[in-house]
Amino acid sequence: MSEIVGKKLAARPSLWNEDVEEAYRFQLAGYRDETEYLTVNSGNAVDRWPHNNYVKKLQRKDGRFYYFSRARECLEKDLPKVKLYND
């Protein structure tokens, strides 16, 4: 299923993969994707786990932080919450 979001096409994933995990972590913190995160946070680098390159820590827009584990966090039940954007 796809929907149009402000001239950008967004798709809802039906299966988990690393792109879905990445989008889930940014969207949980209130961002569309890494590009928006870097824009809002003045280009500060994203903290990542070295062994799998998953996002480790994100600063929310209210200044608080989200900390993520090394393992997968986006469960099957969370897949409908994620939007994958095509730029």
3-state secondary structure of 76: helix
pTM, two decimal places: 0.87
Of 5 and 82, the one with more pLDDT: 82
Cα–Cα distance list, 35 to 2, 51, 75, 77, 87 (Å): 21, 22, 24, 26, 11
- The pLDDT tens digits for 36-74 are 999 999 878 999 999 999 999 999 999 999 999 999 999
Q: Is the pLDDT of residue 9 over 90?
A: no
Domain boundaries, the chain: 17-75
